[in-house]
Amino acid sequence: MMKTYTLPRLIINLKNVRSNYRELCKRSNGTTVGAVVKDDSYGCGCADVVEALVQEGCTTFFVDYAPCGVIVRQKAPQADIYCLQSLGLDTLDEIKQAHLIPVLGSLEDLQIFKQANLPDIPLAINIETGLNRLGFRPSDIQTLSSEDRAAVKLCLSHLACSSYTYHPLNGQQLQRFAEMKDIFPNAKFTLGASDAFQLGPRYYFDIIRAGANLYGIDTFETNRDYLKQAMHVQAAVLQIADLPTGESVSYGATYKATSPRKIAIIGIGYGDGLPRSLSNGKGKVFYEGHEIPILGRICMDNIICDITDVPNLQTGVLVDVLNDTYTADDMGIDAGTIGYEIISTFGKNKRFKRIVIR
């Protein structure tokens, strides 16, 4: 009696996340490495990731909104927790209760912050230097009183083109940001995210915000072998069948067999977060070193794969969808997107049997 597995599996390896954090700290020239754990830690599970990083001594966390900060606070009672999406009336109570630090992006945010009367929460601001996203514009900064300027404890900005080492905007943003040092004399400064490690120490300032690299995402094609994958995905072979010549596969009959093929029907689909854009030959899975192409369209629950050249595959075994050698970055390229979207999407799906390696 075969068919041990039918459910797909999502494996979060916290040992790898911890290893990534340690490796990044080694390369930071002593600069504080903060952890970006927004978007449920890019789908890897915020509570689990924070718990793991606290054990590595991480005391600075960046979240999106206050509800994520509340989760971090439970695992990191002493940490500085910054909310990158600032604050609004709908998150003010959580900001107060969990003692979160909203990174204010505008004069309006500053007004809300002041009116909310949060004397114990330090003033942190986002400074727009070229991404044209959230942040104080130059004209906003000019209107700040000297009292406000002196009260700012953290200045943050974010690079637009940091994954392109030689993009001229990097240097421009660096210069604009460095000019803020005179304006905010009492603030710590943070500019670079994971890519700062590639751009070099001029981008480090006081805190490097490590996000992507923590999870094994590497937007540079540099084969940094010290980065390990936080997420593996596996799926089960539900059925093996013959596909006769002339028969088509899946919706729209976009693949038609021109010779007899052996196919495996595998239990994963876009309902689990496998991008549908991997349909029609763009996607693949792996088994014992064999690369197994996906035929036709990806379904909500299934893919149909060509296993003609994989003699040993049997029903009930697991194939690799993401592993150490076919990473989120690799799938991102095949799917026409980036590794960030890959893990963020897989990570949310409840249908997986979720396994956390601590």
CA distance 145 to 334: 50
15 in catalytic set: no
Name which of 32 and 250 has its Cβ closer to a second copy. 250
Please report the DSSP string for 185-201 in residue order.
Answer: TT-EEE---TTHHHH-G
Closest distance of CB 224 from a second copy, Å: 20
CA distance 102 to 91: 10
Q: Can residue 118 be called a binding residue for a second copy (CB under 8 A)?
A: no
Using the rule CB under 8 A, give the single segment among 74-82, 107-115, 225-233, 282-290 that binds a second copy.
Answer: 107-115
CA distance 312 to 323: 20
Name which of 78 and 117 has its Cβ closer to a second copy. 117
Window 213-242: residues binding a second copy (CB under 8 A): 236, 238-239, 241-242
Closest distance of CB 192 from a second copy, Å: 14
Q: Can residue 124 be called a binding residue for a second copy (CB under 8 A)?
A: no
Name which of 132 and 145 has its Cβ closer to a second copy. 132
Residues 6+ apart with CB under 8 A from 166: none
Name which of 90 and 309 has its Cβ closer to a second copy. 90
251 in catalytic set: yes
What type of residue is 345? T
Q: Which of 47, 150, 151, 161 binds a second copy (CB under 8 A)?
A: 161
Please report the DSSP string for 340-355 in residue order.
Answer: HHHHHHHTT-TTSEEE
Q: Can residue 282 be called a binding residue for a second copy (CB under 8 A)?
A: no
Which of 5, 21, 38, 255 is catalytic? The answer is 38
Q: Can residue 301 be called a binding residue for a second copy (CB under 8 A)?
A: yes
Helix ranges restricted to H, the chain: 14-26, 38-42, 46-55, 66-75, 92-97, 107-115, 138-143, 146-151, 168-178, 180-183, 196-199, 328-335, 339-346
Active-site positions? Answer: 38, 251
